[in-house]
Amino acid sequence: MVENTGEVLSAAVLARRVGWAADLVSGMAADLLAEHWNAADVDVLASGADASGRKLPSSAWMALRRLGWTAAPAGGVRVNDRIVRMAQEQAGRALRSANWRAELTSAVLETWPGDPGKRTPEEWDQVRMAIPGGRDLPSVVIRSRTRQIDAFVAMNGRVPADVFELEAPPRAARMLLLSACDSQQAAIERGEGDPQRALLRLQLPTRSDPCSYQDWTWVACPVPLPPTVPPSAVLHLPTLRITGGKVRADLAYTHAVPRTSRTGHTVALGVDWGLNTLLSAGAARLHDDGHITQLGAGAQFRAAGILTKQHRLRRLSEHLHTKADHLERLIDADEQHELSGRHEVLRDEIRFVSDRRSNLNAALARAAARWSVDQAIAAHATVIYLEDLRSMEAGGMGRTHNTRMSHTVRGQIADRIRHLAAEAGIAVVTVPPRNTSRHCPQCLTPLRHRKAPDRPTARGWKWAICPDRARCGWQGDRDHGAWQRIAARGLTHQAKTVTDRATGQMVIRAVVDKLETTAVITPTTEISRADRSKTGPTRRRTTRPAPRRRRVPSPTGPSGSAGKRPEGHASTGRKTLPRAAHRHQGVATISTPSPSLRPGGPPSSRHRPRGAALGAGFHLHAHATPPRWADPMRDAMSGMGSLS
């Protein structure tokens, strides 16, 4: 609603007026970025001091004004000082973030390897020493920057001077950073009587090219707050952006949360990353005498449907990019070409598919993070230990597997886990991933990975078997053993947990061999190791057991399909196979028997289990156990894990 006149604005009119203001801000921000996109200006801004040696303010717009970097709208357009602040804030943030990329690119250029596709160990040491903080930098970041420079060399025949020649100025986003303003431009307050509503007041233009201050009016916008915002939280000015013809507000708020601790944890949740099974998690307890036991059988977060859709959209995006590149070669900078319209349609479709992929990744990250934190809350854990897979680079597992691993959203999931865990007072610590899936969680013996539990000789990667059958004999799902190793490693290395100064994240940087020897899971159930070898002939059983018959005659009743069971033999066999809860075979079931190998021949005469044909259901004597945060049952299969 316009405050002066009381006019009620529709959603479309509000989006148009916010878009006019965002266009003014993004235009000035783009001019600032183009003017100062060079090494000298970025170094001055990153130094943190002005020409007189005074410390620059932390706010980007104030730092740019101290340096004298101003912006102005196009001729004839009148804006107030707060609109200029938003443009300077956006440009200043982009220029400050460019400093790290500039240092990384300079270090890679100074230590350019002889073979860009494969560095020697000495060349890796040189490039890490040249990069500030390069010892803890993931190798995949250095490889990506090397590939980018190598592509520039292939195109231009020389190496670039710096990152500013390698990359064009970043695009200025079409948004309003209201956090750079004060009450003269925008204000937000809680609704009276309804804590789940807020009122945002801000000045918006009445035309796309305001010529005077009279073309700006105050507009009051009611903002419904989601239930995740506590009633006692302090609201901050949001960031406004246009999405799908609607105004979206990225609202920040502050409220008190329990303080987390780096040490002193007794119950921890270990989380392991996977491919088909995105997350595997379980809780472990550190006892007073130092031994560690697992709490329950663990659980797994499966997102096969979402990942399948994600891979389908990825293939569609690659196909659209291929067609668009082909049209660009045919058009060859001819704006009047007959294929120009088709090329624009393809570009719009590519943006649409990219938005769908981004939304799908964000939804998957939210669901996975919420599931992980809920597992920690249910187990009363005070810390979540994650694998530090920033440097993981897919390779050697086939083209499809490598592509899927490269498109996972591990970074988004980890960030959301930290955010949700902070509200519950749960610490999140990353641990080194070395040998978490390779060694046995109970004795640290290198595991043998097989295809399935009933195929101990077929090489695979899903099922892990400990070769030390005399002392340990553990076997289970590969991911199930990995989360046990992660949780045990984190609990034993608590004293080595540090807080990164740059990011504020808790991390365990290295594995100590002395502590690693105690990072084992003590079995909570005794598994019978008695020798069950056959010592004599099998007792002969009759092929025709005596049928069970009624001792009294059956009562009279109507003939037909309805009525009581007729007198005589009572069949105990099943007419049809029982249907399973779902059609996915788990690791606790046996694999489907293979048919005859002879082409056109009859099926194999080997035993074919009922209920396990082509994934129709679980085997009749093997069932998956639902997750439970309690001591496991005393049985021989308790160490095999759960697939729920």
The C-alpha atoms of residue 643 and residue 588 are separated, in whole angstroms, by 8
Residue 554 host element (H or E): none
Query: DSSP character for 601?
Result: P
The C-alpha atoms of residue 237 and residue 178 are separated, in whole angstroms, by 6
Between 591 and 253, the more confident residue is 253
**pLDDT band at residue 528 using 50, 70 and 90 as cut-offs:** low
Which neighbouring-strand residues pair with 384? 269, 428
Say what percent of the chain tops pLDDT 70: 80
**pLDDT band at residue 549 using 50, 70 and 90 as cut-offs:** low
Mean pLDDT of the chain: 82
Which are the contacts of 1, defined by CB distance < 8 A and separation ≥ 6?
7, 8, 9, 219, 220
What angle do helix axes 11-36 and 81-110 make, rounded to 10 degrees? 50
Q: Residue 389's closest CA among 521, 518, 268, 507?
A: 507
The C-alpha atoms of residue 9 and residue 638 are separated, in whole angstroms, by 63
Q: What is the pLDDT of residue 67?
A: 93
Mean pLDDT of 587-612: 50
CB 483, CB 298: distance < 8 Å: yes
Which are the contacts of 375, defined by CB distance < 8 A and separation ≥ 6?
269, 281, 283, 299
Mean pLDDT of 499-520: 88
Q: What is the pLDDT of residues 143-164, one digit of tens each?
A: 889 999 999 999 999 999 999 9
What angle do helix axes 304-331 and 399-406 make, rounded to 10 degrees? 100
Mean pLDDT of 232-256: 92
Which are the contacts of 356, defined by CB distance < 8 A and separation ≥ 6?
313
Q: Residue 143's closest CA among 393, 389, 397?
A: 393
CB 619, CB 590: distance < 8 Å: yes
Burial zone of 503 (CB within 10 Å; 0-12 exposed, 13-18 middle, 19+ buried): exposed
CB 404, CB 307: distance < 8 Å: yes
Q: What is the pLDDT of residues 333-385, one digit of tens each?
A: 777 888 888 999 999 999 999 999 989 989 999 999 999 999 999 999 999 99
- For residue 440, is pLDDT > 80? yes
Q: What is the pLDDT of residue 407?
A: 53
**pLDDT band at residue 237 using 50, 70 and 90 as cut-offs:** very high
Q: Is 87 helix (H, G, I), strand (E, B) or coil?
A: helix
- For residue 585, is pLDDT > 50? no
Q: What is the pLDDT of residues 69-127, one digit of tens each?
A: 998 888 889 999 999 999 999 999 999 999 999 999 999 999 999 888 889 989 999 99
Residue 368 identity (one-letter amino acid): A
Residue 620 identity (one-letter amino acid): L
Across 240-259, b (16+ Cβ under 10 Å) vs e yields bbbeeeebebebeeeeeeee
CB 243, CB 225: distance < 8 Å: no
Q: What is the pLDDT of residue 435?
A: 86
DSSP symbols for 166-191:
HSPPPPPPSEEEGGG--TTTEEEEEP
- Token pair in block for residue 572: 């105990």
- For residue 489, is pLDDT > 80? yes
Q: What is the pLDDT of residue 160?
A: 93
The C-alpha atoms of residue 10 and residue 358 are separated, in whole angstroms, by 28
- For residue 630, is pLDDT > 70? no
The C-alpha atoms of residue 22 and residue 173 are separated, in whole angstroms, by 9
